[in-house]
Amino acid sequence: MIIFFTSAGPSLLLSKWGHVNFREMSLKVSRILHAGYVFEYEGIKIAFDPIFENPFSRNCHAFPSVKFDYEQIRELNFDAVFISHYHDDHCSLESLNYLDRKTSIYMYCLFEEMFSLMRKLGFENVFPLELNRPVRIASIDIIPRRALDAEVDSLFQIKAGGLNILNVVDSWIDYTTLDLLVREGPWDMVLWPFQTMREIDVLSPLQAPEASLQLPPEWIEQLVALKPRYVVPSSCQFIQEEWSWYNHFMFPITYKQFQKEVEAALPKAEVVRMNPSVSVTLSKNSVRMSAPLTWVQPVGEQDVDYEYKKDLVIPTTAEVARHFAALTEEQTQRVLRYCNKDLIEKYKSMNRPLDDYFSTPRLWSLSLYNHRGEAERFYYRLEDNQMELVTAPQEPVSWRTEVPIARLYGALEWGESLTSMYMRIDPVDSSVDILEDPLVRCLFNGVFGAYQKAQLARL
């Protein structure tokens, strides 16, 4: 039986589990948003990847929708906060800014600079996490585990009262780690990232392959190996702006499909959907509803699902750009200076990758679209690490990049991520990696913590 937990509570709560022994050791797990959770055991409260913003990460709108009671959040006293990695949908200084500065923050990050930013925000107890080295907070053990991309991500194993939970966050698991995790079993609950986001495909949608509507086979294989009692479809509780075509192109997996496949592969497990604010109490014999988080407040329908549209008509960049407000003259000049000077200097300063598409002479076109959908185009001649602005090109364009000027300004001033920029990339050679795009490389290559630095400057 699959049970959906919503703010209204499930009608079949105890139909399978029966009587609950309230004396048994139990752990309360509450969902904040996206990959954010609160774990409570014997009076100890620990938050994981807390986000108290909607939208967050510039244009990620909670799905299902919520609002936050900031007066209550300011009164929260977490015994510790654990952050799995530095991406802005997991590590937000604006969210952390609501917390007491004496709160201990533990983070997996290979860059000391991130810890410095938190200390500048005023936090006194900031600690780096080491893989496989447990951290004990009273009677709760938190063990960071290696993710597939160990330079960025981490997983969390949480042990309390004889219960064993794996929080995969939004990472992928390599098979060395899987072998270790199997040995660490049995698993009472696994928080599994259920969505396969197509962040790269939206950059060049006309060249993107059709999305698979099934879970990756390795996910099912790994879940079968772990054999958890309960599986929570986790992470990816967001969509972009209401008008955004991304909402029907970036997210191919539905909650319904996740349930169907996991139920078939793990007939003894329960799939437990936890919407924002929802809390459950987990014990060795059961899982049951608990009082929800009062400071996370559901708004509207909560049992919403994703809808991928195979035959979606992709809007032009001009149409997308019309959704954004006009820049001021000062903001516009900031972007134009970047295109005329800073971009060229940054490109020349970077090391070139092996087998670079631009190792031979190419003409690149960069088009900036304003709030009226009008384009201003720049042409650059590229060869190796040289870039030259061309006013009247004679040769054909080999690579086209389009972006709303408002979103390019956002990337320069606010540290916006690639997925919020609505950039469109069109190389003539469709076999080339689109992340070789000159604008992408100049904005993001070798750049760390731009989003958090912009937050700190505002705070």
Q: What percent of the chain is predicted at pLDDT more than 70? A: 95
Q: Per the domain annotation, does 23 fall within a domain? A: yes
3-class SS of residue 415: coil
Same domain, 289 and 322: no
Same domain, 183 and 291: yes
3-class SS of residue 405: helix
**Domain membership of residue 429 as a residue range:** 317-458
Return the number of other C-beta atoms located less than 10 Å from residue 303's C-beta: 13
Look at the chain and report how many structural domains it folds into.
2
CA atoms within 13 A on the CB side of 167: 28
Same domain, 172 and 255: yes
Looking at residue 293, its amino acid is: L
Q: What pLDDT was estimated at residue 156?
A: 98
Show Cβ contacts of residue 152 under 8 Å, excluding neighbours closer than 6 positions. 85, 86, 87
pLDDT greater than 80 at residue 186:
yes
Q: Per the domain annotation, does 289 fall within a domain? A: yes
Range 327-353 average pLDDT: 95
Q: What pLDDT was estimated at residue 353?
A: 73
* Cα–Cα distance measured from residue 13 to residue 280, given in angstroms and rounded to the nearest whole number: 11
Handedness of CA 167, 37, 89, 298 (dihedral sign): positive
Residues 341-383: tens digit of each pLDDT: 999 999 999 987 767 899 899 999 999 999 999 999 999 999 9
Assessment of whether the complete model's pTM goes beyond 0.75? yes
The model's confidence at residue 236, banded by pLDDT at 50, 70 and 90, is very high
Return the number of other C-beta atoms located less than 10 Å from residue 311's C-beta: 4
Show Cβ contacts of residue 23 under 8 Å, excluding neighbours closer than 6 positions. none
Q: Per the domain annotation, does 306 fall within a domain? A: no
Q: Per the domain annotation, does 312 fall within a domain? A: no
Q: Per the domain annotation, does 200 fall within a domain? A: yes
Same domain, 242 and 174: yes
Residues 24-47: tens digit of each pLDDT: 689 999 999 999 999 999 999 999
* Cα–Cα distance measured from residue 303 to residue 63, given in angstroms and rounded to the nearest whole number: 9
Nearest partner of 456 among 61, 102, 96, judged by Cα: 96
Same domain, 282 and 340: no
Same domain, 294 and 327: no
- Residue 47 maps to which CATH number? 3.60.15.10
Looking at residue 364, its amino acid is: W
pLDDT greater than 70 at residue 386:
yes
pLDDT greater than 50 at residue 299:
yes
3-class SS of residue 126: strand
Same domain, 259 and 143: yes
* Domain end (from 267, 298, 329): 298
Q: Per the domain annotation, does 309 fall within a domain? A: no
CA 25 vs. chain centroid, Å, equals 33
Return the number of other C-beta atoms located less than 10 Å from residue 218's C-beta: 12
**Mean residue pLDDT across the chain:** 93
Handedness of CA 85, 89, 90, 96 (dihedral sign): positive
Of residues 3 and 274, which shows the higher confidence score? 274
DSSP assignment, residue 306?
-
Q: What pLDDT was estimated at residue 84?
A: 98
pLDDT greater than 50 at residue 230:
yes
Under a CB-based contact definition with an 8 Å cutoff, are residues 11 and 3 in contact? no
* Domain end (from 271, 298, 325): 298
Q: What pLDDT was estimated at residue 24?
A: 66
Q: Which residues pair with 39 in a beta bridge?
A: 29, 46
DSSP assignment, residue 435?
G
Under a CB-based contact definition with an 8 Å cutoff, are residues 274 and 4 in contact? no
When mean pLDDT is compared across 43-47, 186-190, 232-236, 442-446, the lowest value belongs to 442-446
Same domain, 90 and 214: yes
Range 234-251 average pLDDT: 97
Under a CB-based contact definition with an 8 Å cutoff, are residues 72 and 294 in contact? yes
Nearest partner of 308 among 423, 218, 210, judged by Cα: 210
Query: Could you tell me where the beta strands, DSSP code E, fall in 147-286?
Result: 154-160, 163-167, 189-193, 230-234, 238-239, 270-274, 279-283
When mean pLDDT is compared across 53-57, 211-215, 347-351, 399-403, the lowest value belongs to 347-351
CA 407 vs. chain centroid, Å, equals 19
Q: Per the domain annotation, does 86 fall within a domain? A: yes
* Domain end (from 249, 269, 298): 298
Same domain, 193 and 329: no
Q: Are strands 386-390 and 375-383 parallel, antiparallel or unpaired?
A: antiparallel
* Cα–Cα distance measured from residue 90 to residue 442, given in angstroms and rounded to the nearest whole number: 24
The model's confidence at residue 385, banded by pLDDT at 50, 70 and 90, is confident
Same domain, 323 and 288: no
The backbone torsions φ and ψ at residue 407, rounded to the nearest 5 degrees and listed phi first, read -80, -30
CA 459 vs. chain centroid, Å, equals 22
Residues 247-258: tens digit of each pLDDT: 999 999 999 999
* Cα–Cα distance measured from residue 347 to residue 438, given in angstroms and rounded to the nearest whole number: 7
Question: What are the C-alpha distances in Å from 41 to residues 34, 79, 282?
Answer: 22, 11, 10
Same domain, 77 and 20: yes
Radius of gyration of the chain (CA): 23
Same domain, 283 and 357: no
Q: Per the domain annotation, does 13 fall within a domain? A: yes
Residues 154-185: tens digit of each pLDDT: 999 999 999 999 999 999 999 999 999 999 99
pLDDT greater than 70 at residue 81:
yes
- Residue 415 maps to which CATH number? 3.30.1050
The model's confidence at residue 8, banded by pLDDT at 50, 70 and 90, is very low
Q: What pLDDT was estimated at residue 7?
A: 45
Q: Which residues pair with 27 in a beta bridge?
A: 282
